[in-house]
Structure 1
């Protein structure tokens, strides 16, 4: 969903009561990873330039072509299991590290504690 030039994107990051700051993505490629890399915040730390020719960036997931390039991304991250329901619910902005599947949160905060009882 796009609201005020931002994509609101839900992501279940864990099935246990783990902090959102310890959340890896299941995969470092695909729609979710491409969305975060292209529309998430600029990396906090620039990449080291060794003067080598850069590798060509892989094509983004085809569905991202439907999004205007200027939209931002707000992640709604939640930890949820079928037996315990929603244990944590936060929203914020995160970048995806290039070298692995881990998110670096620039800002995150809990949403209201009136969680539902299922996933």
Structure 2
């Protein structure tokens, strides 16, 4: 079950930065939604393409801008996006749903590719170790080439949120999760709810 923000997992990972991060990150995600919504309204399309593409791009930009002044925060370019690393933790946003469903229901769109490889390489150690079939070396070479830019000792913190254009950001949690090979379902080791700010479009 999710634990209150600022206890155990988040403090253990970020120390004194857990509190400021827990305040800044929700504001960044809400602002990203607002920018994407405004972009959609500006182009007047009947589909949500402008919103989806805008949200994908603006989530990274807002996190980079919002976290830039925090001690130890470092920007890195991955997949043509700026991803923030704080105290050796890669902060990676994922919109996992368009409606208010638990983060434990989160699934990736694809079981392969950059995002899946990022989680498998930098996520927590699997709860159940895979059978030793001599595949360890193969798995190391199987990762997406762009991951070579990341220190292999970095860990991954997922910023998982449910959001829709009409209702805004419905739920936001951070934590660490594993992704088994060939699977799209995230298995959370820890996850904590982040409080959303009272802002237009956040509910």
Length-normalised TM-score, structure 2: 0.53
Q: Please tell me whether the aligned partners of residues 112 and 182 of structure 2 are also in contact (alpha carbons under 8 angstroms).
A: no
Match of 1:5 among 85, 88, 92: 88
2:129 counterpart of 1:54: no
Match of 1:87 among 170, 177, 201: 170
Question: May I ask how many residue pairs the two structures share in their alignment?
Answer: 116
What's the secondary structure of 2:124's corresponding residue? coil
Give per-residue Cα distances to partners, 1:22-56, cap 9 Å, x unaligned. 1110011111101000000000111234xx55383
What's the secondary structure of 2:121's corresponding residue? helix
Aligned-residue CA RMSD in angstroms?
Answer: 1.8
Match of 1:42 among 121, 125, 136: 125
Length-normalised TM-score, structure 1: 0.88
Q: Show structure 1 runs of 5+ residues with no match.
A: none
Higher relative contact order (CA 8 A, sep 6+): 1
What's the secondary structure of 2:187's corresponding residue? strand
Q: Distance in 2 between matches of 1:61 and 1:53?
A: 20
Q: Distance in 2 between matches of 1:29 and 1:99?
A: 7
Q: Show structure 2 runs of 5+ residues with no match.
A: 1-83
Q: Which has the higher strand share?
A: 1
Match of 1:32 among 107, 110, 115: 115
Q: Which has the higher helix share?
A: 2
Aligned-pair CA distance for 1:115: 6.2
CA, structure 1 residues 103+93, in 2 after alignment: closer, same or farther (shift >3 Å)? same
